[in-house]
Amino acid sequence: MEYMILLHSDESAAPDFAPGSPEFDAMMGEWMAFNAELAEGGHMIGGASLAPTGTATTLHKSPEGNSTTDGPYAETKEQLGGYYLVEAADLDEALAIAAKVPIPFGKFEVRPIAFRPEV
Amino acid sequence: MATIEAALAQLVRQDAPRVLALLAGRYSDVHLADDAVADALAEAAKRWPTDGVPDNPGAWLNRVASRRAVDRIRRLDVERRRIRSAAPELHADPNETTTMHDMFLIDDPISDPNLPEDQLRLMFLCCHPALNRDAQVALTLRLIAGLTTDEIAAAYLIPTPTLAQRISRAKAKIRDAAIPLHMPSHLEHRLDVVLSVLYLVFNEGYLGRGEDPEPMRVDLCEEALRLTRSLVDLLPDHAEIHGLLALELFHHARRDARLDTNADLVLLPDQDRSTWHQGGIEQGNTALRDAMALKAPGRYQIQAMIAGYHTNATNADDTNWTRIADLYGRLVTIDPSPIAALNRAVAIGMADGPQAGLAALPNRDDLADYHLFHAAEAELHLMAGNVEPARTAFAEARRMARNPAEIRHLDRRIADIQ
């Protein structure tokens, strides 16, 4: 089974360490260890960290005509900040993977993939 | 004919859940198991009136349902092969094969060594935290207790289609999100969910009692007790399950005293203790002793101890309120809910006087919408002789109450102090 883990968290609470600082290196080390663990376990299909919502543009598509607005689709405190696409035996394994994502607070939505074109 | 109906009813309630658990375990597929058991039950309903009841109905069901499961797998396999040859690009894994299961267990399901484990796994599946509470309750009653959709809907006073849709949505999520049928790795946490589902079912039966005197209605208290007992048998080393059983038994022992002949609520101190079921109280005491021997305290055990102090008191004045207040204090530390704090304040009021009780009341803002907060405050004020504050609090409780028996009770209390 393939699952998408959508990482929603409060981006204003995200750590803002300067690259090169020991805190930044520690944080990156945690992420790299997590990614390596996913890859070694055969779980990693893909994933991404998104640029902050300040960079988002929402396209409103409709047969009457498209329009765009500045900002993310949903104005909520917790925003989609990234995702993982993983292979897992079942929902319990996918949830266990989601629990290990090194973000301390957030709402991580776990959804099975219904269909994904082979590339 | 009556005996055939009774045999069929027993088959549905007792044997069907066992066979379902075994088949679900064997094929790791709860849908297949449910469908196969439904096929076999339909066959029993059709054939038994003419063929007679088999010698061992459980073994009969096991054999027929196993055969139906294999039939369904074969049909599915043919279907899959047809789809695969028509649209091979939709199947990323061409090596995937369906194993043919031709092993028949013709024994009585009860003697199958896999039964306990399979029943537990199915119970944990029904109470998986990825399902919402209503779905957990519906699935547990349907797949573990063997109730029909009609019976569950009637017990909860909701339309059958609503309940049927709730169950089919839950089953679809189990299939599509691949919620697994296996023993959870964090057993304690998952067990907690199962216990809260069982207690919820019990309370629904307990609080709903008397509101709908439909005699054919399934007794949810009895069902919850039956499920809790079977969970005790499956996991005998878990103290909280014994604790929940004791709690349910103590409440259930007072079932005939809770409402008077007008279906009006009778509060604990006013209940006719001669109508309490002594056998049930004894069973509750035994369950509580079993729980405490395991030396792993928890909130169900504490609540059972409190219920035990009430039910074992020969009259209301003998109630050991000091111990009960202490136990609520312990409960508050484990489960810091405002409702536990409210109960503690009431117990303190009974033990040390109304002023102490009023002083121990939890923050009003946490329970402003809870009618029992205002009712408890009113009773404490009344005990302290504060008539006007009591009147105001009763009126507030009356405004918040929803249960008709509770509303009538509050109306009487308000009339009493006029």
- Residue in A3, A92, A95, A116 to test binding to B, most B beta-carbons within 10 Å: A92
Contact with chain A for residue B187, Cβ under 8 A: no
> B134 to chain A, minimum CA–CA distance in Å?
20
* Residue appearing with tokens 């103590």: B250
- Residue in B28, B30, B176 to test binding to A, most A beta-carbons within 10 Å: B176
> How far, in Å, CA of B211 to CA of B405, rounded?
8
- Residue in B29, B125, B179, B190 to test binding to A, most A beta-carbons within 10 Å: B179
Q: Which domain holds residue B39?
A: 1-88+104-112
Question: What pLDDT is recorded for position A35?
Answer: 97
pLDDT (tens digit, 9 = 90+) per residue, B274-290?
999 999 999 999 999 99
Smallest CA–CA distance from B182 into chain A, residue: A92
Which among A90, A96, A114 has the least Cβ separation from residue B179?
A90
Q: What residues of chain A, 79 to 108, have a C-beta less than 8 Å from chain B?
A: 89-93, 95-96
pLDDT (tens digit, 9 = 90+) per residue, A19-69?
999 999 999 999 999 999 999 999 999 999 999 999 999 999 999 999 999
Question: What pLDDT is recorded for position B353?
Answer: 96
> A97 to chain B, minimum CA–CA distance in Å?
14
CB neighbour list of residue A103: distance below 8 Å, 6 or more residues apart: A7, A9, A81
Whether residue B3 is contained in a domain is answered as yes
> Which of B112, B144, B178 is where one domain is finished?
B112
Whether residue B199 is contained in a domain is answered as no
- Show residues of chain A in contact with B182, CB under 8 Å: 90, 92
One-letter amino acid for residue B236 of the chain: P
Question: Distance between alpha carbon A21 and the CA centroid of its chain, in Å?
Answer: 24
* Residue B378, domain CATH: 1.25.40
Whether residue B230 is contained in a domain is answered as no
Whether residue B401 is contained in a domain is answered as yes
> How far, in Å, CA of A118 to CA of B88, rounded?
13
Average pLDDT over chain B, rounded to an integer: 89
> Which of B79, B112, B145 is where one domain is finished?
B112
* Burial of residue A114, with CB atoms counted within 10 A of its CB: 0-12 exposed, 13-18 middle, 19 or more buried: exposed
Whether residue B328 is contained in a domain is answered as no
Instruction: Catalogue all structural domains in chain A, each as residue range(s) with its CATH number.
Output: 2-112 (3.30.70.1060)
Smallest CA–CA distance from B174 into chain A, residue: A91
Whether residue B202 is contained in a domain is answered as no
The yes-or-no verdict on residue B214 having pLDDT over 70 is: no
Question: What pLDDT is recorded for position B101?
Answer: 43
Question: What pLDDT is recorded for position B266?
Answer: 86
Q: Is the ipTM of this complex over 0.90?
A: no
Contact flag A112-B176 (C-beta cutoff 8 Å): yes
Whether residue B367 is contained in a domain is answered as yes
> How far, in Å, CA of B57 to CA of B147, rounded?
18
The yes-or-no verdict on residue B207 having pLDDT over 80 is: no
With contact defined as beta carbons under 8 Å apart, do B206 and B224 qualify?
A: no
Q: What residues of chain B, 63 to 102, have a C-beta less than 8 Å from chain A?
A: 92
Q: What percent of chain B has pLDDT over 90?
A: 72
Which among B92, B179, B185 has the least Cβ separation from residue A91?
B179
CA nearest neighbour of A5 among A53, A48, A42, A36: A48
Helix (H) or strand (E) holding A70: strand A67-70
The pLDDT-based confidence of B211 (bands split at 50, 70, 90) is: low
Contact flag B130-A90 (C-beta cutoff 8 Å): no
Q: What percent of chain B has pLDDT over 70?
A: 92
Contact flag B130-A91 (C-beta cutoff 8 Å): yes
> A77 to chain B, minimum CA–CA distance in Å?
23
Q: What residues of chain B, 109 to 148, have a C-beta less than 8 Å from chain A?
A: 128, 130
CB pairs under 8 A between A and B: 28
pLDDT (tens digit, 9 = 90+) per residue, B224-269?
999 999 999 999 999 999 999 999 999 999 998 988 887 777 888 8
- Count: domains in chain B: 2
Q: What percent of chain A has pLDDT over 90?
A: 82
Helix (H) or strand (E) holding A4: strand A2-9
CB count within 10 Å of CB A44 equals: 18
Average pLDDT over chain A, rounded to an integer: 94
Question: What pLDDT is recorded for position B87?
Answer: 67
- Show residues of chain A in contact with B178, CB under 8 Å: 1, 89-91, 112
* Residue appearing with tokens 């209301």: B316
Q: Sign of dihedral through CA atoms B47, B52, B58, B59?
A: negative
pLDDT (tens digit, 9 = 90+) per residue, B330-356?
999 998 888 899 999 999 999 999 999
Q: What residues of chain A, 32 to 71, have a C-beta less than 8 Å from chain B?
A: none
Q: Which of A83-92, B63-72, B131-140, B398-407 has the lowest mean pLDDT?
A: B398-407
Q: Which of B88-92, B123-127, B368-372 has the lowest mean pLDDT?
A: B88-92
Contact flag A91-B180 (C-beta cutoff 8 Å): yes
Contact with chain B for residue A119, Cβ under 8 A: no
> B87 to chain A, minimum CA–CA distance in Å?
14
- Show residues of chain A in contact with B180, CB under 8 Å: 89-93
